[in-house]
Amino acid sequence: MPSAAPAAQSPARKALIKMGLVRDIDLALHLPLRYEDETRITPLAQARDGSTVQIEATVTTSEVQLRPRRQLLVQVDDGTGTCELRFFSFYPSHLKTLAVGARLRFRGEVRGGFWGRQMLHPAFRAASGELPRALTPVYPTVNGLPQAYLRRAIVTALQRVDLPETVAPDLPPLPLGPGLWQPGRSAMTLREALQFLHHPPPDVPLATLEDHSHPAWQRLKAEELLAQQISQLQSKRARDHLRAPVLAIQTAAEGGDLPTLLRAALPFGLTGAQERVCAEIAADLARGVPMHRLLQGDVGSGKTVVAALSALVAIDAGWQCALMAPTEILAEQHFGKLVGWLEPLLAPRGLRVAWLAGAQKKKERASMLALVESGEAALVVGTHAVIQEQVRFARLGLAVIDEQHRFGVAQRLALRKKLAASQLEPHLLMMSATPIPRTLAMSYYADLDVSTIDELPPGRTPVVTKLIADSRKDEVVARIAAQVAAGRQVYWVCPLIEESEALDLSNATATHAELSEALPGVLVGLLHSRMPVAEKRAVMELFTSGAMGVLVSTTVIEVGVDVPNASLMVIEHAERFGLSQLHQLRGRVGRGAAASACVLLYAPNESGRVGETAKERLRAMAETSDGFEIARRDLEIRGPGEFLGARQSGAPLLRFADLQTDTLLLDWAREAAPVLLDRHPALAERHVARWLGGKADYLKA
């Protein structure tokens, strides 16, 4: 532990703590972004134009000029040539150091102009002392934490830190070529690897350091991935010691058990994929250990009915189920559907489906809460309201979270606690339409079990996606008219304008007015997030019932809305949307048997162009409708940080390993984690503490 007394913290020390650089090991693992070569002095005569060099020279003139702007101009001479140094910001102390006659080392980019060589704002230091023998590290830092301070702190920490090897020699070998680091088979210790990366010798090929392919980097990345895998395995195993209700079919009642009754009542048969995931879930529920299962399936793959069947398993066993959705509209759709499916089966048993949402009349809410508390509500559907404190479940056996990426760790924890009094935890089923790419599933989600619906219900026609320039809006409007004339319905989505919700709204309002005028005789509705809930509900009802031909909305319809008769989705300013958002929106159509289309209207920006990543997104949309492929490309475009969203907020992301390039290391870490944990539990413990410190808890929710 650092020795500094917390009472008198310097700003730099505070900045260190803020960056999580608290223990010596944290500093030792804070690795450079890049390096500067201060090991050589270049004679000015040999300094190439545009190169970054270190020179050692004597100040010949030094003066402050006021025009054209205040600046310090310094001339230096190293015997082979001269150079002019310019500083636009400087302190009185600079003037003293840069006085005529001073001999100093300067480091910066040389520009050779008509007026001779120049350096802008070079770094400088006294010319005394030997040249360093290693490259100078440049660390990631924040305001108020100077490189020099950070470098000193890291050097001290490296000397002090205790670094026993934690990667046991009997772990499986890495599936990599010769010359690369192997556990137990390499001469390079962790200390040597760190020493090397902080202070590499000047002859090392810089490219292998910068792209993290050097064996020393490989070793650290492998260790980092191993820590992550162990930590997730630990939380998974810890969960195996917890108890959950055993939810297995009980009834031999007339006509069969509840799930069987629902299957018989459904107007369709389940797909093979739905059957398979239902069986996976049922097996978990019967185990008496809390399930933490992620159910992923593309938009429209039919997750809701799987949730309903799972709920019925719980209910049949005499327990309650909660289903939580991120928006009121979505929760309401679920409620409508589930009431239709379940109430006929529940009513004979004296059970009901309850509704809980933020915007609810006091009286209604009170009666719903009473139903939940008495256990009469076998299923509770709602928004975040479901996890509020006043909601007391009699016997919560299963909690289902739809669009799980919209919820955070805290909410998941709150749900788990809803059964705390009885020493049991409820089972957890998380659903997501955004499939998690394999590498992410294997790393950040390694503690979850995953079920995948990889098949769409039969009879769906693929959605044709068209990219159309904004200037051809008229054609799109004609297309809308034709669809509506054929009895179909249309979504028109206006983009979210991040800076201003008001602008966003005025945009949608204007579009609504335009379309109403352009489509006489068609009922055009408007839906946006600021509308009162009752109004939203009324609009949705008109659209769901088929009375409304066109629904103009902001992205509120993004998730879950299910209107099979809708056959055309128009997305305005599609270039402003994220890839998975576009995919989700497109999934709102093509749910019935009618041929469906998605039109992505794009508009060039002021400079007449569509940005590169926006182009990539639109291209991906036109090229594929496979949710997994979309997710993979999305990860490629955005990186895991954004992709993970709420799950990881506050949790440590991988700092060094890159899931795109380090899949072999990830495979190794997955294989090695259980081995280390089983054969060398103390080493495993130490390894996780070293890499994750106190942060491992975030990953366990």
Largest Cα separation within the chain, whole Å, is 103
Q: Which residue is nearest to ligand ADP (CB)?
A: 302
Return d(Cα 417, Cα 396) in angstroms, integer.
10
Smallest separation (angstroms) from Mg ion to the CB of 217: 42
Binding mask 540-579 for Mg ion (x = CB under 5 A): --------------------x-------------------
User: How are beta strands 449-453 and 292-297 bridged, if at all?
Assistant: parallel
Site membership for ligand ADP, residue 268 (CB under 6 A):
yes
Return d(Cα 67, Cα 662) in angstroms, integer.
54
Query: Of residues 235, 271, 434, 507, which one binds ligand ADP by CB under 6 A?
Result: 271
Half-sphere exposure of 199 (CA within 13 A, CB side): 14
Non-local (6+) Cβ contacts of 38 within 8 A are: 54, 105, 107, 131, 132, 135, 136
Site for ligand ADP in 657-676 (CB under 6 A): none
Site membership for ligand ADP, residue 88 (CB under 6 A):
no
Return d(Cα 436, Cα 131) in angstroms, integer.
50
If you count them, how many residues does the chain have?
A: 701
Return d(Cα 197, Cα 223) in angstroms, integer.
15
Smallest separation (angstroms) from Mg ion to the CB of 298: 10
Q: Beta-carbon neighbour count of residue 142 at 10 Å? A: 10
Nearest to ligand ADP of 29, 585 (CB atom) = 585
473 binds, among Mg ion, ligand ADP, none (CB under 5 to 8 A by kind): none
Residue 497 contacts residue 528 (beta carbons within 8 Å): no
Site membership for ligand ADP, residue 433 (CB under 6 A):
yes
520 by DSSP, 3-state: which?
A: coil
Site membership for ligand ADP, residue 562 (CB under 6 A):
yes
Q: Return the beta strands (E) in 244-325 as ranges.
A: 292-297, 320-324
270 binds, among ligand ADP, Mg ion, none (CB under 5 to 8 A by kind): ligand ADP
648 binds, among Mg ion, ligand ADP, none (CB under 5 to 8 A by kind): none
Site for ligand ADP in 283-302 (CB under 6 A): 297, 299-302
> Tokens 């957890």 belong to which residue?
428
User: How are beta strands 136-138 and 427-432 bridged, if at all?
Assistant: unpaired
Nearest to ligand ADP of 139, 543 (CB atom) = 543
Binding mask 259-298 for Mg ion (x = CB under 5 A): ----------------------------------------
Smallest separation (angstroms) from ligand ADP to the CB of 299: 4
Nearest to ligand ADP of 88, 268 (CB atom) = 268
Smallest separation (angstroms) from Mg ion to the CB of 489: 19
Nearest to Mg ion of 560, 640 (CB atom) = 560
Would the CA dihedral through 77, 80, 86, 92 be positive or negative?
negative
Site membership for ligand ADP, residue 451 (CB under 6 A):
no
Question: At residue 194, what are phi and psi to the nearest 5 degrees?
Answer: -65, -45
> Tokens 């809460």 belong to which residue?
369
Tell me the number of residues near Mg ion by CB under 5 A: 1
Residue 70 contacts residue 88 (beta carbons within 8 Å): yes
Return d(Cα 270, Cα 260) in angstroms, integer.
12
Non-local (6+) Cβ contacts of 439 within 8 A are: 635, 659, 660, 663, 666
Nearest to ligand ADP of 301, 404 (CB atom) = 301
Smallest separation (angstroms) from ligand ADP to the CB of 587: 6
Smallest separation (angstroms) from Mg ion to the CB of 334: 8
305 binds, among ligand ADP, Mg ion, none (CB under 5 to 8 A by kind): ligand ADP
Which part of the chain contacts ligand ADP (CB under 6 A), choosing from 3-11, 269-277, 318-326, 677-685? 269-277
Alpha helices in 486-531 (DSSP H): 501-518
271 binds, among ligand ADP, Mg ion, none (CB under 5 to 8 A by kind): ligand ADP
457 binds, among Mg ion, ligand ADP, none (CB under 5 to 8 A by kind): ligand ADP
Site membership for ligand ADP, residue 274 (CB under 6 A):
yes
Query: Of residues 186, 304, 383, 553, which one binds ligand ADP by CB under 6 A?
Result: 304
Smallest separation (angstroms) from ligand ADP to the CB of 300: 5
Smallest separation (angstroms) from ligand ADP to the CB of 434: 11
Nearest to ligand ADP of 564, 639 (CB atom) = 564
Concatenating the DSSP letter of every residue in 547-608 gives --SEEEESGGGTTT---TTEEEEEETTGGGS-HHHHHHHHTTSS-SSS-EEEEEEE---TTS
As to burial, measured by CB atoms within 10 angstroms (0-12 exposed, 13-18 middle, 19+ buried), residue 669 is buried
Task: With CA atoms as reference, report the closest residue to 248 among 194, 285, 303.
Answer: 285
Non-local (6+) Cβ contacts of 212 within 8 A are: 218, 221, 656, 658
Site membership for ligand ADP, residue 591 (CB under 6 A):
yes
Return d(Cα 452, Cα 460) in angstroms, integer.
19
Q: Which residue is nearest to Mg ion (CB)?
A: 560
Nearest to ligand ADP of 110, 559 (CB atom) = 559
Task: With CA atoms as reference, report the closest residue to 393 among 314, 448, 471.
Answer: 314
Smallest separation (angstroms) from Mg ion to the CB of 402: 6
562 binds, among ligand ADP, Mg ion, none (CB under 5 to 8 A by kind): ligand ADP
Nearest to ligand ADP of 135, 309 (CB atom) = 309
Site membership for Mg ion, residue 397 (CB under 5 A):
no
Site for ligand ADP in 455-514 (CB under 6 A): 457
Site membership for ligand ADP, residue 277 (CB under 6 A):
no
User: How are beta strands 550-553 and 524-527 bridged, if at all?
Assistant: parallel
Smallest separation (angstroms) from ligand ADP to the CB of 429: 13
Tell me the number of residues near ligand ADP by CB under 6 A: 18
Smallest separation (angstroms) from ligand ADP to the CB of 236: 26
Q: Residue numbers of the site for ligand ADP (CB under 6 A)? A: 268, 270-271, 274, 297, 299-305, 433, 457, 560, 562, 564, 591
Q: Residue numbers of the site for Mg ion (CB under 5 A)? A: 560
